[in-house]
A and B are shown apart, each in its own frame.
Chain A
Amino acid sequence: MAEGAVLPVETTTGPVTTGRSLWAEARGRLVRNRAAFTSIIVLSFIALACIFGPFLTGHPFDRVYPDYVKVPASLEAYPKADQIEPNIERIGARVRAKAESITIDNDVARMTLVSSSTRPIDERLLAYFERSDLFGPAKVVEKQQDGQRLVVDVPLKRQYFLFGTDTNGRDLLTRTMRAGQVSLAIGLLATFVAILIGVIYGATSGYLGGRVDLVMMRIVDILYSLPFIFFVIMLVVFFGRNFVLMFIAVGAVEWLDMARIVRGQTLSIKRQEYVQAAEALGVETKGIIRRHVIPNTLGPVVVYMTLLVPKVILLESFLSFLGLGVQEPNTSLGVLISEGAKNIQGATWMLIYPSVTLVAILFCLNFIGDGLRDALDPKDR
């Protein structure tokens, strides 16, 4: 290996060999970076879980369970043993009967309902059992004393709330996944918008230079000086709260940084001899920007992108925390954390799980960004 590695080019022959691009080499270095590679796996897992998880939890993200308001996270199924009797008694009272000798066997509760008046129990009222979140449809097994005593079998509905439920009794696991979806989508899309505008704008401005550059960058400066929150509040006032508005607001602000970075890169690339060589070949401006300038700025852009995604996610969380972000029943990590913060005394799980998810996503993205920077620019180490 060592012998051949000195001059690999001379030693290889054969039919058309494919080259190893800088990207391919960077990928190799990235995979060898343990922190970055672990982060990629964890992040992919979180992303897949957020996309497909809500179909598997068995709870729609906006389904309200009035009987399970703010129940703590648990690996065991609800209802718990100590919840069953009080609930049966509560429903029994609505059926105008008293529940006696309750036995639970194999997820079915058997009870004897004794009418609290002299009239027989109205069997239609047994539908109350089914309306609750705890039980299935009740079945009368035996009628005694002309219907004043009923032996009833009620199946229990086994439900899992692994992350607990929120103040409205919605499954927090599903909502966290949904929030992850929204946050990642906003993070990626707004970043994509920011980069698309920023790269094209910055590369054009930097490459053309002179007066055009001056005007284009002053426009950026003016947009910079607008206070961001004021800008968002204004948009919300004019157009109402809207999911798409988030992309526009965040993208409209974040591309400014990108444009500046790319312009700076372009200024140095412009003086590279390969750009001058292209000019000497007569390549038109558009071709130079597309083929030479932009591909060579992409290294820093990719790095900035991985750092921009968490920034955008945080920004969205911040806006949602202020109440300017996504709207109920839709949710995002920022909204969940905001609600969790309000309920920190009684229901810590409402804060812990969304926060852990957000932190995990941010950690992963930052590690990947770090790894990419090392991978794309090995000279810097």
Chain B
Amino acid sequence: MAEPVLSVRNLNVRFRTGDGILHAVKGIDLDINPGETVAIVGESGSGKSQTMMAVMGLLASNGWAEGSVKYRGEELVGLSPGRLNHYRGSKLTMIFQEPMTSLDPLYRIGDQLALPLTTHGGMSKADARKRAIELLELVRIPDPARRIDSYPHEMSGGQRQRVMIAMALANNPDVLIADEPTTALDVTVQARILELLADLQKRLGMSIVFITHDLGVVRRFADRTYVMKRGEVVESGGTADIFAAPKHPYTQMLIDAEPTGRKEPVATNAPMIMDAQNISVQFTLEKSFFGKSTHVLRAVDDVSLRVRAGETVGVVGESGSGKSTLGRAILRLQPASGMVRFEDRNLMPLDRRGMQPLRRHLQLVFQDPFGSLSPRMTAGEIVTEGLLVHEPSISRKERDRRASQAFEEVQLDPAWRNRFPHEFSGGQRQRIAIARAIILHPKLVVLDEPTSALDRSVQKEIVELLRNLQKAHGLAYVFISHDLAVVRALSDEIMVMKSGKVVERGNAEEIFDRPSEEYTRDLIAAAFLTKDDRNEAAVQPLAS
């Protein structure tokens, strides 16, 4: 085997925090050979990103690295930033998770692409521009000669990620480090980006280090895999071997972490709880001088939705499809036209005050367990806030008892109810958010991507929890998600949304087994490619 391009020996990364020293990466060894794709897999907090940040010398100011990182025999740890810049940006490049924030909004795409070319490549401005257009063509941005002068906000998330890749490729790097490059993107976009990376590697022959928590991506994409847990490499080897015969229980757990099981169907005579007909939501994008709307976006366009007691309706779609807006519209949190009936009451004529007594029956759980809990309240206060509103007569002691009960119900230790949200992990926070919703014994809960921000293994637990709660309380769910695996595990019925319209709806099994629409097939293909052989999947381009 050839000499590794990048070899990491006994790398330690530590951070100085308010609680003492945090040992994030504990003496790991990695080797990256020329032209190979290596995946580093682990859940959040496993130190996979920090390892590569240390390699690139990009650790936060309170962190430091010890050990050895050699790029073609040259030691990188301990180099001054000036010397390090000789390698990073030209020989070692990196793309990040969030394409929305890693491009500077003030500069044109072309200027940002030209920067590494003029600083590292020593090109003139005109040459750099020519090369930038070539690069954009390479990452398959349509009409690159025109798009080179656009600003980042004029491009979609997928296009921005392509620009980031183009920037990383500008100086023909030896190693491209991709830190969760597709996590923030829709599944179909994700598939195309991965395909592009695989294709580029084949053409340019660089090594790719792929940091991800998504095993599906790893299986399709990587030659070798390192599995990290709490700062240590617990298993490494050829990807196929690891998937075929995982040795470490943690790897086994990661591979099995896909939510399993199907929902039992509800009785046909279950009462109708929510009946929403012809819901439309419009956003005014532009107004004329006289206040008339001249440019209107129909975020939700004539959508109907019925939910029976104990039933789960899955709403599937990519970002911008209007699925979250629909969820908020049926709860009357978003002005909409159409008709919404809850049990036997028409909700449309009710104002905010009129809705208030009904709110306890209609609950909402959000995607982001970090943003949906007020950082200045304790978990107990957050969970019992609904009781303050809907059962103002009960005493503080009783509220505390109810909080403990709700904590137990979501399998959290009630002793933690005086802690603050930032002291919990992501999955625990989502449990708190669920406890807040169910403490009022609601009849319908709208779950807006409740598992998307969580690790796979945690997702599985939350799906399990949601299923048990549904059984125990006869809850009806409207489950909004772009993650088809989770939707399949939870839903009776599925609606597929695209650009505000329902393109397909039906029984969960039917939709997955016999999708009738092209778009549904795309979604399913993109989400479940993981099951197929890696090479086959990477070569076959997706229908778009």
Contact = CB atoms under 8 A, between A and B. Distances in A.
B425 A9 contact: yes
B18 A282 contact: no
A210 interface: no
A291 B424 contact: no
Given A279-B333, A281-B386, A282-B356, A274 B22 contact: no
Contacts of A22: 375-376, 420, 422
Contact of A283 (B23, B378, B385, B425): B385
B359 A17 contact: no
Contacts of A16: 414-415, 417-418
B364 A9 contact: no
A381 B362 CA distance: 41
Interface residues of A, number: 42
Contact of A280 (B333, B382, B424): B333
A17 B419 contact: yes
Nearest to B412: A9
A300 to B, nearest CB: 13
Given A22-B422, A274-B374, A2 B436 contact: no
A278 interface: yes
B20 A1 contact: yes
Contact of A13 (B230, B362, B413, B417): B413
Contact of B22 (A2, A29, A280): A2
A13 B428 CA distance: 15
Contacts of B362: 280
Nearest to B62: A381
B425 A1 contact: no
B333 A1 contact: no
A28 B420 CA distance: 16
B270 interface: no
B436 A281 contact: yes
Given A2-B21, A274-B373, A17 B366 contact: no
B19 A8 contact: yes
B416 interface: yes
Contacts of A283: 385, 388-389
Contact of A381 (B61, B363, B420): B61
Contacts of B21: 1-2, 5
Given A25-B18, A292-B374, A295-B376, A277 B436 contact: yes
B364 A280 contact: yes
Interface in B373-399: 373-379, 382, 385-386, 388-390
B303 interface: no
Nearest to B17: A5
Contact of A5 (B22, B360, B425): B22
Contacts of A6: 22-23, 45, 230-231
A284 interface: yes
Contacts of B363: 280-281
Interface in A77-111: none
Given A2-B22, A19-B420, A287-B388, A7 B17 contact: no
Quick one: which of A2, A28, A277 has the most chain B CB within 10 A? A277
A20 interface: yes
Contact of A2 (B14, B355, B390): B14
Given A2-B22, A2-B23, A296-B375, A282 B390 contact: yes
A118 interface: no
B376 A21 contact: yes
Given A277-B364, A282-B359, A282-B360, A7 B371 contact: no
B375 to A, nearest CB: 6
A15 interface: yes
Given A2-B21, A280-B333, A284-B356, A291 B415 contact: no
A20 B423 CA distance: 8
A29 B389 contact: no
A21 B418 CA distance: 9
A201 to B, nearest CB: 21
Given A5-B19, A19-B378, A282 B389 contact: yes
Contacts of A278: 374, 385
A345 interface: no
A332 to B, nearest CB: 37
B433 interface: yes
A145 interface: no
A146 interface: no
Contacts of A381: 61
B252 interface: no
Contacts of A1: 19-21
Interface string B98-138: 00000000000000000000000000000000000000000
Nearest to A28: B18
A117 interface: no
B346 interface: no
A277 B372 contact: yes
A282 B376 CA distance: 20
Nearest to B355: A282
A347 to B, nearest CB: 50
Nearest to A1: B20
Contacts of A2: 14, 20-23
Nearest to A298: B376
B406 interface: no
A10 B440 CA distance: 28
Nearest to A269: B374
A291 B385 contact: yes
Contacts of B483: none
A14 B366 CA distance: 30
Nearest to A23: B376
A273 interface: yes
B223 interface: no
Contact of A281 (B19, B385, B415, B423): B385
B401 to A, nearest CB: 13
Quick one: which of B374, B422, B436 has the most chain A CB within 10 A? B374
A280 B445 CA distance: 11
B368 interface: yes
A281 B132 CA distance: 51
B366 A276 contact: yes
B419 A19 contact: yes
A7 B19 CA distance: 11
Nearest to A2: B23
Contacts of B410: none
A328 interface: no
A265 to B, nearest CB: 13
Quick one: which of A5, A279, A282 has the most chain B CB within 10 A? A282
Contacts of B487: none
B496 to A, nearest CB: 25
A6 to B, nearest CB: 6
Given A18-B418, A280-B359, A9 B428 contact: yes
Interface in A1-59: 1-3, 5-10, 13-23, 25, 28-29
Contacts of B360: 281-282
B40 interface: no
A272 interface: yes
Contacts of B373: 274, 277
B420 A20 contact: yes
B331 interface: yes
29 contacts: A1-B20, A5-B20, A5-B21, A5-B23, A6-B23, A6-B45, A6-B231, A9-B423, A16-B414, A16-B417, A19-B379, A19-B423, A20-B420, A21-B378, A28-B18, A276-B364, A276-B366, A277-B364, A278-B374, A278-B385, A279-B333, A281-B385, A281-B386, A282-B356, A282-B359, A284-B356, A292-B374, A296-B375, A296-B376
The 5 closest A-B pairs by CB, nearest first: A282-B359, A19-B419, A273-B372, A2-B23, A280-B364
Given A16-B414, A277-B436, 20 more contacts: A2-B20, A2-B23, A3-B23, A7-B45, A7-B425, A13-B415, A19-B379, A19-B416, A22-B375, A272-B371, A273-B366, A273-B371, A279-B333, A280-B331, A282-B355, A282-B360, A283-B388, A284-B389, A291-B385, A295-B376
